[in-house]
Structure 1
């Protein structure tokens, strides 16, 4: 049996998970939440992670019922993500690996999401829609590589939603995207927004600029409600994602969709996404899967796959990358 502990802290969530041969033994985490209208700064996020990471580590070991001697490998998020939080977690992971005398593994955050999604949902070979605060991509596996079929050419869908939430002062607890989704359920009037799909790629910055400029004018004049704006933004963004996902599925001949990433809103918005995707495909045979939210177990799972394949990260190479 192979036991891997994974450290995740690429954004505002710090998590440590332990995997044993595909079984999640523990997966505690903490979330750094800022007041409404504010984002989370790298330095403050890193300070939060430093304050709680040892407590989370102790929780992970206690919940798994393991001691350091039982762990075979230490995995950590190498990137992409926010620089300061990534460095904080990498330092702790490196220290733990040396104190415990265990090999170290730097894991790609995106691959962690996908591998954990495949483990939990039992998806075989899906077309992957990756949505998070920093990434938006359509990915499929081909010839021993994950290949990007389409992506955002500017900002990520999560970043677009987060920044809009700040404009109309939506709470960050548990996440801006989730709260936008709750408000969208109460919206009834669709406000026409720019729709930007360029082949297999999407662009969200123009939509954000438009709705940021129009929001206060339309709300003050009574043309629409905040709920209507949330409904319109979500409808537009998701329709764009549906279009490029459907096109990638047609290209790959895939009958499975796996949605992964750090955005909590995806979990609650899947019915909207799935119904629209089904309309596009004119098919009832498509299988839909989802597993979202940043966590340590996903880094442990990707590390488990890598470790079993003979990969190890030497200390001089245990750096981080924001991209």
Structure 2
């Protein structure tokens, strides 16, 4: 029996979770929320994490009923992510590892999402669509690596939606993407937007720039409503994602799709991907906001897999990096 604690703070979500051999014992999270029309800056986000992390740690331990002595390894997000928030959380993870006398494991954030998704859904070897504020990738496992088959060539889908939310001054509580999703349900008119798929890759910056340039005028002259624009941007972006995911499935002869990352909570994305899967005779796997939004237990789960495979990070190597690609990690815990 192995018990792992995970520390996550790569963006505006601060999370600490504890897992025991696939059983989630605690999953505590705090989100840094800014006023409508504003994003979150690294420095302010780091201050939020610093102010809340000890409370979150205490709550996570109490929720799990586990004492520090029972924990086998401390896991933290090495990257990718925003520098200041990453380092703020890593400092605490390093400190408790030394105070408790526990080994530490540095985890790739993206692989945390994948391993948590596999655990919760039971998907065996899926094509993975990873969609979040900072990442957009289509991934499949092969020969001890998570291979990237396609990705955004500029901004991530979550970043695109966040920028659009700022244009319309949509609330950031609980998240811009969630509020866009609710408004999109009331949209009735589709506004044609740039659709940019380049082979296996996608580009979202053109969509973002275009909708920013037309939004105010089209709403003012009655051409469309804010809800129509929310509906249109969702349909366009998600169609692009379904297209490249289906192409990766065909290449891999895959019959499973797993959606992970914060944007993966979106019911319309799940619906569109599900329809594609039905047409292909494939199966869709997705999780709810407890596990698809950044959280500490996903870092614990990936670290648990790594620790059981014999991976421990020397203390002098427990640094962070804003750029840490999914395919850089050797996945020695999976059988081919």
TM-score > 0.5, shorter chain as reference: yes
Could you tell me which residue of structure 1 aligns to residue 286 of structure 2?
Answer: 290
CA distance in 2, matches of 1:96, 1:314: 15
Return closer, same or farther for 1:95/1:271 CA change in 2, 3 Å cut-off: closer
CA distance in 1, matches of 2:225, 2:300: 44
CA distance in 2, matches of 1:269, 1:174: 18
CA distance in 2, matches of 1:27, 1:289: 21
Quote the offset at 1:271 in angstroms.
Answer: 4.2
CA distance in 2, matches of 1:270, 1:193: 17
Could you tell me which residue of structure 1 aligns to residue 35 of structure 2?
Answer: 35
Could you tell me which residue of structure 2 aligns to residue 3 of structure 1?
Answer: 3
Q: 2:170·2:179 contact (CA, 8 Å) conserved in 1?
A: yes
Classify the secondary structure of the residue corresponding to 2:38: coil
Could you tell me which residue of structure 2 aligns to residue 185 of structure 1?
Answer: 185
- Per-residue deviation, residues 79-132 of structure 1 (Å, max 9, x unmatched): 001111000000000000000000011100000000000000000000000000
The answer to whether structure 1 residue 60 and structure 2 residue 60 are counterparts is yes
Q: 2:274·2:284 contact (CA, 8 Å) conserved in 1?
A: no
- Per-residue deviation, residues 43-95 of structure 1 (Å, max 9, x unmatched): 11111111110011011111111111000100000000111100000000000
Could you tell me which residue of structure 2 aligns to residue 105 of structure 1?
Answer: 105
Q: 2:181·2:266 contact (CA, 8 Å) conserved in 1?
A: no
CA distance in 1, matches of 2:274, 2:217: 33
Return closer, same or farther for 1:271/1:77 CA change in 2, 3 Å cut-off: closer
Q: 2:270·2:286 contact (CA, 8 Å) conserved in 1?
A: no
Could you tell me which residue of structure 2 aligns to residue 136 of structure 1?
Answer: 136
How do residues 8-27 of structure 1 correspond to structure 2 at under 5 angstroms?
8-27=8-27
Computed over aligned residues only, the root mean square deviation of the Cα atoms, in angstroms, reads: 1.1
The answer to whether structure 1 residue 316 and structure 2 residue 316 are counterparts is yes
Classify the secondary structure of the residue corresponding to 2:183: helix
CA distance in 2, matches of 1:254, 1:38: 40
Could you tell me which residue of structure 2 aligns to residue 225 of structure 1?
Answer: 225
Classify the secondary structure of the residue corresponding to 2:174: coil
How do residues 1-323 of structure 1 correspond to structure 2 at under 5 angstroms?
1-263=1-263, 266-278=265-277, 282-283=279-280, 285-291=281-287, 292-323=292-323
CA distance in 1, matches of 2:271, 2:189: 16
Classify the secondary structure of the residue corresponding to 2:130: strand
CA distance in 1, matches of 2:235, 2:139: 22
Q: 1:239·1:276 contact (CA, 8 Å) conserved in 2?
A: no
Classify the secondary structure of the residue corresponding to 1:129: strand
Classify the secondary structure of the residue corresponding to 1:28: strand
Q: TM-score, normalised by structure 1?
A: 0.97
CA distance in 1, matches of 2:270, 2:262: 18
Quote the offset at 1:276 in angstroms.
Answer: 4.4
Classify the secondary structure of the residue corresponding to 1:40: coil
Classify the secondary structure of the residue corresponding to 1:146: strand
CA distance in 1, matches of 2:8, 2:36: 25
- Per-residue deviation, residues 298-319 of structure 1 (Å, max 9, x unmatched): 0000000000011111111110
CA distance in 1, matches of 2:194, 2:51: 42
Quote the offset at 1:274 in angstroms.
Answer: 2.6
CA distance in 2, matches of 1:69, 1:267: 39
CA distance in 2, matches of 1:46, 1:282: 45
CA distance in 2, matches of 1:54, 1:116: 24
CA distance in 1, matches of 2:168, 2:266: 23
Q: TM-score, normalised by structure 2?
A: 0.93
